[in-house]
Chains A and B, each alone.
Chain A
Amino acid sequence: MSRGLPLDAFTIASEVRSHERSARSVVEEVIESIERGDSEIRSFVSLMAESALKRAEVVDEIVANGCDPGRLAGVPVALKDNLCTKGAATTCSSRILEGWIPPYDATVVEKLRDAGAIVVGKTNMDEFAMGSSTETSFYGPTRNPHDTTKVPGGSSGGSAAAVAAGFVPLALGSDTGGSIRQPAALCGVVGMKPTYGRVSRYGLIAFASSLDQIGPFARSVAEAAALYEVISGHDERDSTSLLKSEQETTEEALTRGVAGLRVGVVTELLDAMAPQVVSRVREAADALGLSGADVEEVSIPELRYALSAYYLIAPAEASSNLARYDGVRYGLRVDADDVASMNAASRTAGFGPEVKRRIMLGTYALSAGYYDAYYGQAQKVRTLLIAAFDKVYERFDVLVGATSPETAFELGAKSSDPIAMYLSDVCTIPSNLAGHPAISVPFGSGEGGLPVGVQVLAPALHENEMFTVGAVIERAASDARNVGEAAT
């Protein structure tokens, strides 16, 4: 299935650092493979060939001078197009930001550069990250590399597809209600949402500020963990950035094993899911048990309220975050006689239907007379949910469940039914509301041979337990695949 460079990030970095391969040749190859192979999948909305080559030369020069360009030396990385890149168009896949060139870099972009990584392009997404299929993009949909009649999931579908297709070993996405994990599951790659505050949001174009987190995509848990380590850490430009630092490296976590870990299989994250998805999650849980974890099923009834709370909180914050696209300072302007009409004409022409729907919903939820019933109530549900998680985490170290209720669906299947589309995030939303970390790890396949993702949830700041469990699930999936191949 790989249409690009089959190398993993560690191999590239070590070869670049040891002169075996130049960063320039890596970038050239990657750009070439995207130009050749992405026309069908359309995972990228723009390539940054020139700046990437320039950056690669800098990395090669650092190596030539006997210095170390960083742990991701020469590793090509794709960025979701809601991460600001200085001098390179950043659109959120929206017409309203068409042609806008940010005058500054997001903090994660600086961190990638400091680690020697090379940003090669920007990936497609649902417009302003609102969607679960990457179909609401102004630039048209991205297709699933496993089956191009299917969606890649969303909203970070472009990043998931770019990694799944092998164009890049690593990519960044953003996850507000599952926008990293769900497309990772549907595309058969690893996708992770860190604890809220672990990764600076400075330069991430906001959808719902109290839920948004940037996180990694990779083809392995180890690579995702490495990328997470590179992008995380305190940032004084983000007031919600956490001060606490990690006690141990993810590398130790990846090899520790799950013996003695208490794993809860969450009933609500299995209920009503596609049968093959349920089977895969149970197999993954069994594999954890065989590896020494104490596995037990647990119900968290409060999770049932998460979807409703999310679809009030996220649109409410979005309605405010997206007010600034008014045609005054940047982005699309549609002229009109007076400023209010100009604002409305620009917004009406610049936003697609899903974005308008959510702005409408959020504006309504915050408006006079409805605040307490909707937004206020949803925030109390958030408190309830956090308390429920806290209680469950007294008994368990991590929780597992499905990432997505089903495997990748047909393009257009849910486009006219918002609620059906919103239900795609039912398993991922609780972690966003609580601010907790969660990861989706591929585990076998479901209907039509399409990938299934198993989700591992952990309490705030416990990314390492999550990585430990994710690594064991990954190994079990690989063992199962090998057994399956041996049998045929």
Chain B
Amino acid sequence: MSVDRNSFETVIGLEVHCELLTATKLFCGCPNVFGEEPNTNICPVCLGLPGSLPVLNSQAVELAMRIGLALNCEIRPSSFHRKNYFYPDQAKDYQISQYDEPINSNGFLELPDGSRVGVTRAHLEEDTGKTTHVGGGGRVHSAERSLVDYNRSGVPLVEIVSEPDIRSGAQARAYVSELRSILVATRASDGKMEEGSMRVDANVSVRPLGATEFGTRCEVKNLNSLRSLTRAIDYEAARQIELINNGEEVQQETRHWDEDSGSTSSMRSKEEAYDYRYFPEPDLVRLAPDDAWIASVRESLGPLPARRRAKLVSLLGGSPSGPEMDQVLATVELDLDFLVIEAAKAGAPAALALARASNEVASNLDALRSLDPAAFSTTVQMESRGDLSSTQAKAVIAELMSTGRTDPVAVARDKGFEAMSGELIAQEVAKAVSEAPQEWKRYLSGEEKLSQFFIGKVMKATRGKANGKDVVAELRRLSASEGE
């Protein structure tokens, strides 16, 4: 079957739910923590006991405003509604959410490629409890019974709804990555998709190129990673295009993404859509942050990822390579750019600091708190001066992070990482050359890449103490002298 995909445009709007990094839940004083024993963080309010009443957490409002301001939203007087539906993880059988008066509206997010995605709204609401399905392979449909844990019930969420401005799975991915960077940068959320603290639903439709009206959209749920987001959108767009090319119509419905089969399937049609019977939550009063509060939140917002990336780019001299740009994105997203900036300030080469931050530090984020930024920049400087080989520098960084030590020079000494003298290097290189006469011949005949082979041999013999650059220099010197 021939599907003319190129004559269609995909239109995507995203709904992103993120859990806020507050100490307590949205409407009660229970701890907002992940991974506790079931039903241990509960109280009359988040369990929906008769007679309990919600009281709004001011820090959740503050974090919601941070997100709104970072997304260029207007902050407006707002209110809470009840969204009524029965589901066992919904303790009151209604969710307290913001409906026609969200706290944040009319914003936009600029992506690293310069494109802009409108943000319709970013509103506060409470999370549900968590359901575990028993029997039938743990799937909701086939399970024999389900078990409910209300620890997550009432955890504060901000739902960020984009305009249908996104045109591809790749752009959707860029939007979610950028959003995640912003959430982390503003310390509003940890942005962990795997733990469910950031959840994405996609509204996908297609239309012939040049059309001005939107096609019928489907909402795709269960997107648990950036990879499933792009795959699901690409699959769903192709499915819709195929339907249209076959003369069929796209039905407005909610579809479930299955990561294993790589396809979406219908969850419920529009006819089965819920009637949520929204009405103003009478147990809460209006929320109208005053200008002073908004201003103080604006002031407390540090520089946002776009500006922080620009800073790193300028430290790199303005025109980073492709791999360097990836490192810039990762470093800012993981909130590690301060290390690079500090190292550069201390005189270390920015590119090397960036490489160490985006690889060695990034791979061990749990130990970041023990890493002294000054010690990090000293280590990078030692490496760039040749006092440490790259292998040694990596080992020193690992040691600094695992022990919390702040003295890289002493760490290097304790590990026996004294820089090798030129004489020793020459000895080791001569030994390596004599042990591999064939390879040496090929090197001499111009096979430059064999220098890696000799570096490896010398490294092995010196247990990584030698500096690769020094080895290459010695090889060159030796070959030049033999050629004489």
Contact = CB atoms under 8 A, between A and B. Distances in A.
Contacts of A90: 50-51
B49 A237 contact: no
Interface of A: 82-84, 90, 92, 97, 100, 102-104, 106, 201-206, 208-210, 236-240, 316-317, 319-320, 323-324, 326, 328-330, 339-340, 343, 363, 366-368, 371, 375
Nearest to A201: B53
Interface string B285-312: 1000000000000000000000000000
B49 A239 contact: no
B66 interface: no
B84 A323 contact: yes
Nearest to B55: A239
Given A203-B52, A366-B277, 20 more contacts: A82-B51, A90-B51, A92-B50, A97-B50, A204-B51, A208-B282, A237-B53, A237-B55, A239-B54, A320-B279, A323-B86, A323-B93, A324-B91, A326-B88, A329-B47, A329-B48, A343-B86, A366-B278, A366-B279, A371-B277
Contacts of B146: 339
B49 A103 contact: yes
B170 to A, nearest CB: 37
B276 to A, nearest CB: 8
8 contacts: A102-B51, A103-B44, A201-B53, A317-B282, A326-B86, A363-B277, A366-B277, A371-B277
Contacts of B283: 206, 209, 239-240
Contact of A366 (B49, B84, B91): B84
Contact of B282 (A209, A330, A340): A209
B92 interface: yes
Contacts of A323: 84, 86, 92-94
B45 to A, nearest CB: 9
Interface in B13-46: 44
Q: Residue among B52, B84, B92, B148 with the most chain A CB within 10 A? A: B52
Contacts of B148: 328
B199 interface: no
Contact of A205 (B47, B50, B54, B282): B50
Most A C-beta atoms less than 10 A away, residue of B52, B53, B86: B53
A102 B277 CA distance: 29
Contacts of A340: 86
B255 interface: no
Given A103-B44, A323-B86, A329-B47, A239 B53 contact: yes
B88 A339 contact: yes
Contacts of A329: 47-49, 91
A330 B54 CA distance: 19
A371 B279 contact: yes
A206 B86 CA distance: 18
A319 to B, nearest CB: 8
A238 B279 CA distance: 19
B284 interface: yes
Contact of A202 (B53, B82, B275): B53
B56 interface: yes
Interface in B45-101: 47-56, 82, 84, 86, 88, 91-94
B82 A320 contact: yes
A323 B87 CA distance: 10
A367 B53 CA distance: 24
Interface in B101-131: none
Contacts of A102: 49-51
Decide if the interface of chain A is mainly helix, strand, loop or mixed.
loop
Nearest to B274: A368
B51 A106 contact: yes
Nearest to A344: B86
Contacts of A104: 44, 49, 51
B289 to A, nearest CB: 16
Contacts of B48: 324, 329
CB-CB nearest 9 A-B residue pairs? A323-B93, A210-B282, A366-B277, A209-B282, A205-B50, A203-B51, A84-B51, A205-B51, A368-B275
Nearest to A330: B49
B51 A206 contact: yes
B92 A324 contact: yes
B175 to A, nearest CB: 31
Given A324-B48, A329-B48, A239 B84 contact: no
Nearest to A100: B50
Contacts of B278: 366, 371
A454 to B, nearest CB: 30
A467 B56 CA distance: 35
B279 A316 contact: yes
B50 A84 contact: yes
Nearest to B145: A339
Interface centre among B50, B54, B146, B278 (most CB of A within 10 A): B50
B133 to A, nearest CB: 11
A95 to B, nearest CB: 14
A210 B79 CA distance: 15
Given A201-B53, A320-B82, A328-B148, A375 B279 contact: yes
Contacts of B277: 319-320, 363, 366-368, 371
Contacts of B47: 329
Contacts of A209: 282-283
Nearest to B80: A239
A324 B92 CA distance: 5
Task: Choose among A208, A329, A343 the residue with the greatest number of B CB atoms under 10 Å from its CB.
Answer: A329
A330 B278 CA distance: 25
A372 B50 CA distance: 29
A365 B93 CA distance: 18
Interface in B212-251: none
A320 B81 CA distance: 11
A82 B51 CA distance: 8
A375 B81 CA distance: 14
A236 B86 contact: no
B285 A239 contact: yes
A330 B88 CA distance: 12
